[in-house]
Structure 1
Amino acid sequence: MEWVYAWWGWFDWPPTLGNLGVEIAVALDLAFRVVAASVVSNNRRPSSAVAWLLAIFFIPFLGLFAFLLIGSSKLPRRRRNKQRRVSEVILARTADIDIERPDDGPPWLEPVTRMNRRLGAMPMLAGADATLETDYVASLHQMADEIDLAREFVHAEFYILSLDETTQPVFDALGRAVERGVTVRVLFDHLASLRIPGYRRTIRHLDRIGVQWARMLPFTPCKREVLRPDLRNHRKLLIIDGQVGFIGSQNLIDARYGKRRNRRLGREWIDIMARFTGPVVQELDAVFRTDWYSETDDLLDVGAGGTLVRAEATGDLYAQCVPSGPGFEAQNNLKLFNALIHNANESVRMISPYFVPDESLLMAVTSAAEQGLVVELFVSEQGDQPIVHHAQRSYYELLLASGVDIWMYPQPFVLHAKTLTIDGRTSVIGSSNMDMRSFTLNLEVSVLVEGADFAADLAEFEDLLRSRSRRLTLTEWKRRPWHEQIADGFCRLASALM
């Protein structure tokens, strides 16, 4: 109890006029810290809470202002209510759909898909077919070709959307679709697209060709719209007539993101997109329609003609759409990743450009490696975002020590694909990174796929990455310069605030 008496020694009782102000200041400071610790820690990850408390205590005014501005990871209640309303519609329309899984599927798959349905409303359905496209330009041409076949509607949703020489074929196809009488709706994240050169030219072109468009999560304080610059819609989707859907990591922009610096460095983004047919496409379309409703207040029917999940089967894959983000109460994507990794029996293979796990995911990955499973992580040797890149590096020593194989894709390229493969047959592909921003601040969408053929296609892509990458060793990593270690540790702490 010595510390109590030492602290109480600051006070002189009864107080005198000379030290009364000091005692009041100390008492208020103590009260502020107690209240801050209670408020900040409520319903927050311990690492995030500690980071916020350090910021508030060491830089009180700036730290408190930042917490009040971006401390909450939830969208405004009005927008969350919209998500809840659509989820209720989906659950009602699919109430008679039993959970579908292959007879030879792993026994743990059904509980995982049941969890996904409870969190994101979408059921696991049979009858999907999927192909992968890993060539950046070829993927854009494939999208343009499918848009040219549209007869009813085209729904495009991209985190970044920009008109340039590479994306011109897609924009031309959208224009031709409008001329044929096809309804074309386009969504793009406001701040992400705004910072790309040619933003206003892109908007003018959308107006010129007659596309209906809306900005996602617009940051326009003067209009009293969303005032949160840190909450972003990171989804990448393209749906044609509810029959064909594209999902993956690729934005609708040139592979060098229109930046002169990237051209000078030879830096290009390496992405992957999946083309789906079958019932899962209408689940992807339901995600688009939810976002369209959130931004425009125009509530489109969920599912073409109100026939959600009644699309014709086109293949042998089982697929389930898993939306996630601050519009939901839980971290849907994080729970999916953790559940899959904990149930792995043979291998875990992850491709993530930004790997900044929370405590639960880090425990799942290291535990899998320590159990003797083959665990591989594919990352970029040099990231495009310095703070996130250094934060990611701070986990390498623990990962390597536990037995995780880390493959570093050579610079100046940015490995931007986002996939997870379990035991060579259960896969996830979509927009979600394995980092705390994707888990809490970004609206993301993923597809859980059960089927050895799709996993085999992903394995070919992993083999290609492995052949071009360098395997990092623990000995090499421990020899990195001391100043890099300091930067890694500092950015790891800062990442908890992002």
Structure 2
Amino acid sequence: MHSLLLSNLFWGFGWVVVLIIDVLALIYIPRDRKPTAAMAWLLLILIVPLVGLVIYLLIGNFRLPAKRRNEQARIDEIIRSRVQRGGDDPGWPRWFQRVAEQNETLTSLPAVAGNGASLIDDYQASMDAMAAAIDTANDWVHVEFYIVAWDDTTRGFFSAMERAVQRGVTVRLLADFIATRKIPNSDKTFAELDRIGVKWSFMLPVQPFKGKFQRPDLRNHRKLLVVDGRVGFMGSQNLISRDYNSPKNIKRGLKWQELMTRLDGPVVAQVNTVFLSDWVIETGEDVSASEHLAASDIAPAAENLTCQLVPSGPAYETENNLRLFLSLIHAATERVILTSPYFVPDEAMVYAITTACQRGLDVQLFVSEIGDQGLVYHAQRSYYRTLLAAGVRIFLYPAPFILHAKHFSIDDDVAVIGSSNMDIRSFSLNAEMSMLVRGASFVQAMRRVEQKYRDAGRELTLEEWEREPAHSTFLDGLARLTSALN
């Protein structure tokens, strides 16, 4: 009788704990969270309460700590006070004026004219071009990449940094803490940076014993280089070998296909502003007085493109990149061409894309035929039928390449390029950087890149997709559910 009473008390206590967890989850989880994400979290906690609670406590907070968010807000106010507000060019369409105004409201960075931008889709050529730019440095070099590795591919880049330091140039480098440290032999990378005299720091370090901690999977995913404020680079490519030095990738023969852009003109000041913001947040050192040029001090480029940088991430109050993407898709009148290695859209983007098809637009999506991340790959596939049925043309870039480029274009004169994937992680959890470009010459260059994708790959049809085996689409649907846990 005594053991039965204890057993009943144990189970009764357990049910009370589960009830309390469920009630608290229903109260707190839906607050300031999208319904799909809230439902995914609630489903997890209702099915496995204790496990779900532990996972939620680890990764349930999709914002950075208040201290970091407040610092980003302080920096944005400084930028807003120092930067001359972008004026509405009478040559801009009204819708473009509104999009530029939206971006400036969210980031403090205005659209600026007088820029040059050239695309580089060759992996090693991009690395060599950045190294050549560093060799022209007279004063300072700013380097920021999600992943940094010293290997045969990046050796020339590191050598250029070393030569710059030897000339008396200050070289500063930021690298994401978790992404870079998990690369094989990462200690050798930072030992080499120390040897050549580069000043470096981690971004978003997970070091709780040093008072540096946030949700562990919040990452800084930006890729940029600025030389003396005159020349800049940005795009999708990390500072690492094309196979990421991963035994798994090497065994599968995987190679990453990227797209970078070389910049000159006033927009380089905006790229540098993003670096300076990240540098002061991570190190506490403000070097903007000595290592920054105002946009007005940078000579305009002959190409005269209008550009606007749009940084985004969990330090901001909203998804700056997602709002930019949605605004452009809704504004398109002829075509929308999207390229993303990890395409896991939220409901708003799915509706925007399928509505564009219903308006009679030519909508195309370029993705990889194979994936390097199982859950993301299957979650992406779960959207194919909806998109194909709506009229989206999907092109698969062939194995063994991972199409890692991140860009899209609308109509004939507006495009976006940067570090942001079109997935829920990039919208909410990663610090990203996208650049809005208005200029027919730039879009024409992007069209040539897109044609290379078509020539290399193949088009996926609805008829082909309908023949997919049930077990495969089951995994797709399951992965789609997990993608909402943000």
- Tell me by how many angstroms 1:65 deviates: 1.1
Q: Match of 2:75, as an amino acid?
A: V
- What is the CA deviation profile of residues 219-278 of structure 1, one whole-angstrom value per residue up to 9, with x for unaligned ones? 123323124221000000000011111000000001011123323322100001000101
Q: What residue identity is the alignment partner of 2:481?
A: L
* Corresponding residue of 1:497: 485
Matches within 5 A, 1:174-323: 174-301=161-288, 304=291, 307-314=294-301, 315-323=303-311
Q: Distance in 1 between matches of 2:91 and 2:163?
A: 45
What is the aligned residue count? 481
Q: Secondary structure at the match of 1:67?
A: helix
Moved more, 331-340 or 257-266: 257-266
1:486 corresponds to 2:471: no
Q: Hey, what's the Cα distance between the residues in 2 that align with 1:39 and 1:333?
A: 26
Ranges in structure 2 where 5+ consecutive residues have no aligned partner = 1-5
Given the alignment, which residue of 294, 317, 322 partners 1:329?
A: 317
TM-score, length basis structure 1:
0.93
Contact 2:343 2:421 in 1 (8 A): yes
SS at the partner of 2:43? helix
- Give the conservation status (yes or no) of the 8 Å contact 1:129–1:278: yes
Aligned to 2:77: 88
Q: TM-score, normalised by structure 2?
A: 0.95
SS of equivalent to 1:156: strand
Q: Does the Cα contact within 8 Å between 1:157 and 1:235 map onto a contact in 2?
A: yes
1:145 paired to 2:152: no
1:58-207 aligned within 5 A:
58-94=47-83, 96-101=84-89, 103-207=90-194
Which of 40, 48, 54 aligns to 2:43? It is 54
- CA apart distance, 1:22: 7.4
Residue identity matched to 1:128: N
- How far, CA to CA, are the matches of 1:195 and 1:18 in structure 2? 46
Query: 1:115 deviation in Å?
Result: 0.6
CA distance in 1, matches of 2:80, 2:335: 33
Residue in 2 that maps onto 1:42: 31
Residues 305 and 159 of structure 1: CA distance in aligned 2, closer, same or farther (over 3 Å):
closer
Name the counterpart of 1:376.
364
* Aligned residue number for residue 351 of structure 1: 339
Write out per-residue CA displacement over residues 41-82 of structure 1, whole angstroms, 9 at most, x where no aligned residue.
111111111110111111111111111121111111111111
What is the letter of the counterpart of residue 110 of structure 2? Answer: P
Contact 1:420–1:428 at 8 Å: present in 2 too? yes
* 2:437 is the counterpart of 1:449: yes
Q: Distance in 2 between matches of 1:194 and 1:24?
A: 43
Task: Summarize the Cα distance change of 1:403–1:349 in structure 2 as closer, same or farther, 3 Å threshold.
Answer: same
Q: Partner amino acid for 1:221?
A: P
Q: Provide the identity percentage.
A: 48
Aligned residue number for residue 5 of structure 1 = none
For 2:191 and 2:211, locate their aligned partners in 1 and report how far apart those are by CA, in whole Å. Answer: 24
Amino acid at match of 2:476: D
The aligned amino acid for 1:491 is A
State how far apart, in whole Å, the 2-side matches of 1:312 and 1:151 are.
Answer: 17
1:151 aligns to what SS in structure 2? coil
In 1, distance between residues paired with 2:176 and 2:429?
13
Q: Taking structure 1 as reference, are residues 20 and 189 closer, same or farther at Cα in structure 2, changes over 3 Å only? A: closer
Verify the 8 A CA contact 2:22 2:49 in the aligned structure 1: no
Q: How far apart, CA to CA, are the structure 2 residues paired with 1:89 and 1:33? A: 43
More displaced, 250-259 or 295-304?
Answer: 295-304
Helix, strand or coil for the counterpart of 2:317? coil
Any conservation in 2 of the 1:283–1:309 contact (CA below 8 Å)?
A: no
Aligned mates of 2:418, 2:459 — CA distance in 1: 25
Matches of residues 392-411 of structure 1 in structure 2 within 5 Å? 392-411=380-399
Partner of 2:379: 391
Greater mean deviation of Cα atoms: 128-137 or 190-199: 190-199
- Report the CA distance between 1:312 and its aligned residue: 1.8
Q: CA deviation at 1:302?
A: 6.6
Q: CA deviation at 1:381?
A: 0.5
Distance in 2 of aligned mates of 1:202 and 1:481 = 44
Q: Structure 1 residues 303, 74: closer, same or farther in 2, change over 3 A?
A: farther
Offset, 1:411:
1.1
Change (3 A) 1:305 1:326: closer
2:3: which partner in 1? none
SS in 1 for 2:225: strand
Counterpart-to-counterpart distance in 2, 1:186 and 1:19:
60
Question: Match of 1:438, SS?
Answer: helix
